[in-house]
Structure 1
Amino acid sequence: MESNIKICCITQTDGPRVYDFLKSYFFSDEPLSTCHRPEEKRGFGEEILSSLIESGLCLKAIVEETQELVGVVLNDAEDPLKEEEEELCNDEVTTHDTTGDKIHKFLTKIQREADLFKRYNIQKLLHLIIVTVKSEWRGRGIASRLSKAVMELGKEKGFELITAECTSFYTAKMFQHMGWDIVHSVRYKDYLDGNGQPVFQPLAPHDACRVYAARL
């Protein structure tokens, strides 16, 4: 069924189309984004997407016959210096934080605790940030195909490791089935604000954020 699916690099020309795709099929479904307040904008800005595309590390899945966009995977390169800069940011959740701020602080905390550069003794890694598939095309292995294609791209580019923070139960299961290592996890009920209340309360079965990694 997927023989007509082509995987290729995302270019800046694809930017607006990919951004609309994310709004429709990622930000509306991603467990932590669903915890936003009604007045808040979900997701990140188009300028962040543009910078990720510029890296040449982002891929799309399209139907060859129709050019329909059915999946994307967004990635970025990281090194110890970039991680140190992130660590300087205050990750304490405040009442003034937007949901986007809370998500960023949560993921930064998890990345720091996973300590991948020290754990794997590496100097360069590929960070898989988002992988998502059009709703009617899910369950056909497209997300795993995109992830495997990124692993091959990472090898070609000289990356030593690939990693992803899985906020979704289903994405975590996919990487588990692909044989990635689980290196860290934080249950949502254990990540509390200053009042001792969970910062995120997504619907079941999304119970934790899990960090997966694989050597390339």
Structure 2
Amino acid sequence: MEYKMIGPEHCDQVLEHLRRNFFADEPLNKAAGLCQNGSSCPALEAHCAEAIMDRMSVMAVDARDAKEKGSCKIVGVVLNGILKPGDTAKALSKLDTNGDADFRKIFDLLHRHNLQHNLFEHFDVECMFDVRILSVDSSYRGQGIANELVKRSVAVARKNGFRLLKADATGIFSQKIFRSHGFVVFSEQPYSKYTDGDGQVILPVEAPHIKMQQLYKAICGTDQEEKEQAR
């Protein structure tokens, strides 16, 4: 397996991988009925493309496939973006103009939770390395690819001078992976308690996924770690 940085030139290939392996099966997308396996979702694809443009994302490529067919098969990706203070509030304000009601349900939850549990205020940082999407081809799972993608993301963040990484993990499997790499739970949102004005659950996520976790990892200098330990 080879691991490479994702550039804008890989955008179409990455989106095709996500259509086949992530969009329909991610717990919140599935609960909202956002899209079918293999189908496109313009709002979600724009969200992914935005992260790719930050040039912090990593992909896993099957080297054997490249030798046999002369082309690279993407078997896993982690999409990472750069998050600055005010970005989440801006994204939330723009959400009302999005015509996809199912997309709005998902990102209204994510944005509002991040504003309520504000890592920028807690850690006093000017930007964060935002791990947004972690996906592995269904036929390649169980080979440690997701773990390696997260490991390499931490290395990319450290190389680029980030002090803090963040991830909104919506499923139990990604939550376990992040915690295994030293990420710490900062806040949680049980899906059963995310309800509308009538008390109805907005996103009926299927077990074993019962909550969203906002996780963080402090890196690049002991001053940040000491600050957290003192709290």
Same fold at TM > 0.5 = yes
Question: What is the correspondence of 1:1-216 to structure 2 with a 5 Å cutoff?
Answer: 5-37=1-33, 42=41, 44-66=43-65, 67-86=72-91, 88=93, 98-216=101-219
Task: Give the Cα–Cα distance (whole angstroms) in 2 for the partners of residues 88 and 32 of structure 1.
Answer: 21
Task: For residues 138-166 of structure 1, give each alpha carbon's deviation from its aligned partner in whole angstroms, at most 9, with x where no partner exists.
Answer: 12211111111111111111111111111
Unaligned stretches of 5+ residues in structure 2: 66-71, 220-231
- SS of the aligned residue for 2:25 comes to coil
TM-score after normalising by structure 2: 0.82
Task: Give the Cα–Cα distance (whole angstroms) in 2 for the partners of residues 39 and 153 of structure 1.
Answer: 31
Do the aligned partners of 2:82 and 2:127 also contact (CA within 8 Å) in 1? yes
Task: For residues 72-106 of structure 1, give each alpha carbon's deviation from its aligned partner in whole angstroms, at most 9, with x where no partner exists.
Answer: 01111011132443465689xxxx97111000100
Identity score, percent: 25
Shift of 1:45: 4.7
1:36/1:42 CA distance change after superposition, 3 Å: farther
Do the aligned partners of 2:24 and 2:35 also contact (CA within 8 Å) in 1? no
Shift of 1:48: 3.6
Do the aligned partners of 1:35 and 1:99 also contact (CA within 8 Å) in 2? no
TM-score after normalising by structure 1: 0.88
| Aligned residues: CA RMSD | 2.2
1:27/1:77 CA distance change after superposition, 3 Å: same
1:18/1:179 CA distance change after superposition, 3 Å: same
Bigger share in helix? 2
- SS of the aligned residue for 1:19 comes to helix
Shift of 1:205: 0.2
Corresponding residue pairs, total: 208
